Structure 1
Amino acid sequence: MGAVSVAQAAERLGVSVPRIHQRIADGSLSAERIGSQWVVDERSLLRIQERSKAGRPYSARSAWAVIAASEDARDRVGVSGLAVSARARAQLRRLLEPAVEPVADEEVVRQLVVSLRSVFRNRAHRRLLRAAPADLADLRADGRWAMVVDLGASGIASADVEGYLAESDVDGFVRDYLLVEADNDANVVLHVISDSQDPYPNSRLRLAADLAEHRGPREEARAVELLHELAVAWKEVDR
């Protein structure tokens, strides 16, 4: 993706030009100064547009409850028992309903991945970082990961490292591998979760949410395929 002018960004968000400059100043909108003008990163702009149009995100607890329900793990949903489980199952049903039939229409695919990114946004704090390429193998094998995301299992080839890490391990992990904040050149994705949170390593729904956040056409298409597979399976057990 490229960049757009401040005026174009303001028009697309339906706000004033000064408001765009405020967002640039507070860091909520990525931009670069070229000469005397600012240009806005289009990927950053799309994220804000999505958040303004998409549904309200689940809380972290609700997001993991829905993921647990997708694994039919009702006994692991939470301390509130059946009431929480019933709510999570209802949320899951609404999420999967549009994917029961195979999805080929590009607009429907876009709507589904936008929904995934929105409702599961709070399941973890996603950090984009960069490590020295020579450290990636050791980093991937580090025993502190709560779970390493296997994108290869989803058919997406990637040399990057992505996984779920307990909050108490993050500072030491970042320090040990000299990780630095990155964006376009990130090769490490940390999903930071609470120390007690199960990341459900075999969850198709959680993997679909992971893939949707990459925003690439292959990743988004695979995310929707996973949703469809899950929707078909869930329809059978939820009759």
Structure 2
Amino acid sequence: MGAISVAQAAERLGVSVPRIHQRIADGSLLAERIGSQWVVDERSLLRIQERSKAGRPLSARSAWAVIGAAEADRDRLGSRGAAASARPRMQLNRLLVPASEPVFGEEAARALAVSLRSLLRNRAERHLLRAAPSDLADLRADQRWAALVDLGGSGIASADVEGYVEESEVKEIVKDHLLVNADRDANVVLHVIVDGQYPFPDSRLRLAADLAEHRGPREEARAAELLHELALEWKAGQ
């Protein structure tokens, strides 16, 4: 994805050109000034489009309950029997039904990725940061990670560091590794969770949601594949 003009961005969102300039000014829409004109980051625009069209996302607690349901892990959720897990299982079923058939093409994969991003985005606060490339190995080895995201294990090659960190650890990790905020050239992704939240490090559903948030065609395709695998297992277990 690249950049588009302010007029094109306004047309896509169905708003006025001044409204796009307002969004650029308040930081809700990423843009870059080239000469006398602003160009809008297309990926940033897609985030706004999705949020305006998508349904209400689950709360953090409910999102993790759905992830736990995919793992059939009642102990981690503090479940008190079948009734307590019925709602997240129902929400998981709604997510997996469209993925029960093989996914072909970017549009189909993107549709599943949009559902993932919409439903599970509140599971953690996602922060894009940058570290010196020479510091990435030390950051990856930091013992304060609640869970590292293994993009390599998913088939997506990446030298970046991504993982889940409890809220109380974030400031020190940022300070110790000299992390700075970054939008376009981030090489560190922190998913910030409340203290004590178990991040289900081996969950394919959570990994699919992590991949979907990268918004690239390869990541979305792999997220769709993971959903399809889960859907087949889910269907077989019903």
Partner of 2:217: 217
Segment drifting more, 28-37 vs 10-19: 28-37
CA offset digits 1:30-86 (Å, max 9, x no partner): 111222222111111111111112222111011000000000112332466544410
After superposition, the Cα gap between the structure-2 partners of 1:87 and 1:134, relative to the gap in structure 1 and judged at 3 Å, is same
Stretches of structure 1 lacking an aligned partner (at least 5 in a row): none
Using structure 2 for the length normalisation, give the TM-score: 0.96
Quick one: percent identity of the two aligned structures?
78
Partner of 1:6: 6
Partner of 1:201: 201
Aligned-pair CA distance for 1:95: 0.3
TM alignment of 1:222-233, pairs within 5 A: 222-233=222-233
- What is the alpha-carbon distance in structure 2 between the residues aligned to residue 48 and residue 75 of structure 1? 37
Secondary structure of the equivalent of 1:120? helix
Partner of 2:43: 43
Moved over 3 A (4+): 78-84
Aligned-pair CA distance for 1:108: 1.9
Aligned-pair CA distance for 1:105: 3.8
Aligned-pair CA distance for 1:107: 2.4
- What is the alpha-carbon distance in structure 1 between the residues aligned to residue 39 and residue 213 of structure 2? 23
Partner of 1:126: 126
Stretches of structure 2 lacking an aligned partner (at least 5 in a row): none
Conserved? CA contact 1:69–1:92, under 8 Å: yes
Secondary structure of the equivalent of 2:183? coil
- What is the alpha-carbon distance in structure 2 between the residues aligned to residue 41 and residue 151 of structure 1? 24
> Which residue identity does 1:70 align to in structure 2?
A
TM alignment of 1:64-143, pairs within 5 A: 64-78=64-78, 82-143=82-143
Secondary structure of the equivalent of 1:225? helix
Aligned-pair CA distance for 1:207: 0.2
- What is the alpha-carbon distance in structure 2 between the residues aligned to residue 87 and residue 212 of structure 1? 24
Partner of 1:154: 154
TM alignment of 1:48-63, pairs within 5 A: 48-63=48-63
- What is the alpha-carbon distance in structure 1 between the residues aligned to residue 150 and residue 3 of structure 2? 31
- What is the alpha-carbon distance in structure 1 between the residues aligned to residue 81 and residue 13 of structure 2? 42
Secondary structure of the equivalent of 1:191? strand
Secondary structure of the equivalent of 2:142? coil
Partner of 2:171: 171
Secondary structure of the equivalent of 1:223? helix
Across the aligned residues of Structure 1 and Structure 2, the Cα RMSD in angstroms comes to 1.3
Conserved? CA contact 2:79–2:85, under 8 Å: no
- What is the alpha-carbon distance in structure 2 between the residues aligned to residue 135 and residue 155 of structure 1? 24
Segment drifting more, 177-186 vs 70-79: 70-79
Aligned-pair CA distance for 1:153: 1.1
Secondary structure of the equivalent of 1:214? coil
Segment drifting more, 106-115 vs 178-187: 106-115
Secondary structure of the equivalent of 2:126? strand
Using structure 1 for the length normalisation, give the TM-score: 0.96
Conserved? CA contact 2:76–2:198, under 8 Å: no
Segment drifting more, 69-78 vs 177-186: 69-78
